[in-house]
Structure formats: structure tokens, C-alpha cells
Chain A
Amino acid sequence: MRMTLPFLILAILTLAGGVAAMTLRRLVHCALALSVAFAGLAALYLNLDAEFAGLAQLLVYVGAIAILIVFAILLTRGGDSDAEKSFSPAGIGGAVIALAVFAVLAWATETSGIAHPALVTPPPESAMREIGLALMQRYVLPLEVIALMLTAAMIGAVILAVRERRNPAGTESAERPGLGA
């Protein structure tokens, strides 16, 4: 059993989206390329017979996180002109580290013996009924913890991002040291 053509196309689309998101200069283009990568990953999940995970990925990542990133770009754009300095001075070192990590991961995949036997497995039955039963019976405690964590994260995000009340005496400018100046 070999890799199929749809898998190759989706993998190339996902990787191209990821590379474009990490190398383009303008932030909005990066966000669009990032949503392409997320959509490609959702299609990969669908290709791997994980329908529910693929649709959740599409809803959460393409629908929510990409939009959130675009809003954050719009909210933090004022002072920054997207100039030449979009990569940090230690960029070469970071790229070398990432290449080394990829080399280690690919070596581990190649030598683990996973790549050689031809796995022939029937597609598992990921019926919605089974998923719902698993979430409600075996994984009900993690589900409740996730619900609590999402509530806490929502409250925390609102508290963090809300605009602080300005002091009437005008001391706000004194409380804002200009960083990087």
C-alpha cells in the first residue's frame, strides 16, 4: 500500500501554505497562507477517515483562529511599517536548529521500522455515535475540564485585552515607558 495521489497533493498544499506563512513579508499575507495550511490539514484529516476531527479543525482553525489572527494583526499594526526587518538577526541559527530537528525526526521515522512493513488496515469506523459515546462515557472528565478551561480562557482573554481605564490626572503617559527607544 503506497501513498495515494490525494494525500500527496494535500501534503504539498499544506506544506506550501506553512512555508508561505512563515516566510512572506506582509503579515496579512502570512495570515492568509496560514489559513490555507490549516485548511489543507483539515483535508488531510478527512483523507485519513477522521471526519469529525477534520470538520472541527475547519471550524476552529480556519473559522476562528485565522480570523482572530487577522484581527490581532489589524489591532497591532499602527506603529509597525512592515519593512525589511521581518526576520530576527538570529535567523540563520533558528533555521539551522529547525533543520536539525527535522533531520532527527526523519531519521527516527526511517530507523524505527515503521516505514517498512506494508500496513494494510481497514478504515476504522469513526461513526458519530461511537465518538459521542466515548466523549460521554470514557472521556467525560476531560470533557468537563476542557469546558472549565475554555471558560477560564475566555474570561482571561477579555480581562487581558480590555482597554485599561485612563486616569483623569493624565498619569497614563508616565506609566508607559517607551520600550525599545
Chain B
Amino acid sequence: MNPLAGCLLVSSLLFSVGLAGALTRRSAILVLAGIELMLNAANLNFIAFWRFGPHPEFLTGFVFVIFSIAVAAAEAAVGLALIVAIYRHAQTSDVSEITEMKG
């Protein structure tokens, strides 16, 4: 197994762990943490393909990771602010108890 396949395997494992956490945890903060893990797995893929790809001098995957980190920072800030606002409104951060919009 070469390093690129190793990176892809690690990143798919990390994605699955994040997905499992986002689907199974009840705390909204940990759901957000699972989403962050999935984003990081995608970033690891970008770095791996940039490093072992045919044209690393174009820096495409690298710059994409930089922008992705910035977007993830904004997403985490807004998401945590939403969680705090929902907690203030509903007095809980348990996603299975927030059923106001349940049809």
C-alpha cells in the first residue's frame, strides 16, 4: 500500500467516525464536532492528492485546504452561536428533545 492509499484509508476512517458521531450523539455540540471531523477528513484527501498528484507546483489542493479551513472556522462560530441561542430558548442542547419543527 503506497502513501496515497494510506492517506485515503485514514481519511475515510475519519469520515466514518465523524459521520457515526454526527448521527448517533444527542448533544448538538458533538454533532457539530462530528461534522468538523468529516470536513477534516476531506481536507486530508485534498492534501494527499496535492502531495502525490502529478502537478504539485500548481498548489491547487493546498490553497483549497487553506480556504476550507477558513470556511470551517466561520461555520463553527455560527454553529456554536446557534447552539447557544437554542439552548437559551429551549434550555437544552439535546437534539432529540428539540422537536418544535417536527411535522
A interface residues with partner B (beta carbon < 8 Å): 1-4, 7-8, 11, 14-15, 18-19, 21-23, 27, 30-31, 34, 37-38, 41, 44-45, 48-50, 52-53, 56-57, 60-61, 64-65, 68-69, 71-73, 75-76, 78-80, 85-91, 93-95, 97-99, 101-102, 105-106, 109-110, 114-115, 117-119, 121, 123-126, 130-131, 134-135, 139, 142-143, 146, 149-150, 153-154, 156-158, 160-161, 163-164, 176-180
Contact = CB atoms under 8 A, between A and B. Distances in A.
Contacts, number: 274
B69 A57 contact: yes
B4 A114 contact: yes
7 contacts: A22-B17, A48-B47, A60-B72, A69-B76, A99-B20, A125-B57, A134-B59
Contact of B93 (A68, A76, A131, A139): A76
A158 B52 CA distance: 41
Interface in B30-46: 30, 32-34, 36-37, 40, 43-44
Contacts of B40: 37-38, 41, 61
Interface residues of B, number: 79
Q: Which of A14, A49, A76 has the most CB of B within 10 A?
A: A76
B84 to A, nearest CB: 5
Contacts of B17: 15, 18-19, 22, 98
A124 B56 contact: yes
Nearest to A152: B74
A161 B84 contact: yes
B53 to A, nearest CB: 8
A157 B25 CA distance: 24
Interface in B50-94: 50-52, 56-57, 59, 62-63, 65-67, 69-78, 80-85, 87-94
A17 B41 CA distance: 13
Contacts of A65: 36, 72-73, 76
Given A1-B2, A48-B51, A73-B29, A53 B24 contact: no
A153 B77 contact: yes
